[in-house]
């Protein structure tokens, strides 16, 4: 299973994030979409960063649509975050959707930052024990 992603410079480091993600459609082009507000879909996380994430789902979401994403951060609980779709592309088994978090400040951002730091440290501790 190969995911074709373009290498773009990022402001924040991203880590693999293989966890369930649920999303609900809220707005498109600054308008609430009431007929789609009950529409939501399950997804599977692909990666996570301090300012956004990507996930795989069976739905093609247009760029600039605003969604509410919900996911669990182990040790930090359920996260409910507004996000804007910045990229969406078809892959072999669905669509890879990249979102940018909106209005994520303070302790909510700190939870994601601390989770990423903790996961990164775990990986480095593991690598230290390898004889490379």
pLDDT at 119 over 80: yes
Both tokens assigned to 68 = 């509410």
What are the tens digits of pLDDT across the range 41-86? 899 999 999 999 999 999 888 899 999 999 999 999 999 999 999 9
Rounded percentage of the chain residues whose pLDDT exceeds 70: 75
β-strands 40-49, 20-28 pairing: antiparallel
Cβ neighbours for 9, distance < 8 A, ≥ 6 positions apart: none
pLDDT at 125: 61
Is the separation of the CB atoms in 21 and 40 below 8 Å?
no
pLDDT category of residue 38 using cuts at 50, 70 and 90? low
- CATH code for the domain in which residue 73 is found: 2.40.10.220
Q: Other C-beta atoms within 10 Å of 85: how many?
A: 20
The beta strand positions in 29-125, using DSSP E, are: 31-32, 40-49, 52-57, 65-73, 77-91, 94-101
Higher pLDDT, residue 8 or 93: 93
- Tell whether 66 is covered by a domain: yes
- Supply the pLDDT for residue 39: 65
Interatomic CA distance for residues 69 and 53, integer angstroms = 10
Domain that holds residue 35: 14-128
Number of domains composing the chain: 1
The answer to whether position 117 is within a domain reads: yes
Q: 55 with 44: CB under 8 angstroms?
A: yes
């Amino acid at each position: 299973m190969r995911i074709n992603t373009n290498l773009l410079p990022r402001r924040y480091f991203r880590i693999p994030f293989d966890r369930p993600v649920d999303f609900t459609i809220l707005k498109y082009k600054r308008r609430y979409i009431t007929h789609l507000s009950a529409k939501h879909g399950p997804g599977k996380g692909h990666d996570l960063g301090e300012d956004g994430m990507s996930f795989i789902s069976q739905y093609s979401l247009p760029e600039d649509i605003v969604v509410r994403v919900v996911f669990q951060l182990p040790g930090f609980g359920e996260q409910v975050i507004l996000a804007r779709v910045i990229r969406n592309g078809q892959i072999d088994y669905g669509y890879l959707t990249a979102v940018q978090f909106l209005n994520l400040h303070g302790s909510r951002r700190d939870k994601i930052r601390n989770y990423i730091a903790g996961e990164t440290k775990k990986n480095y501790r593991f690598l230290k024990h390898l004889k490379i």
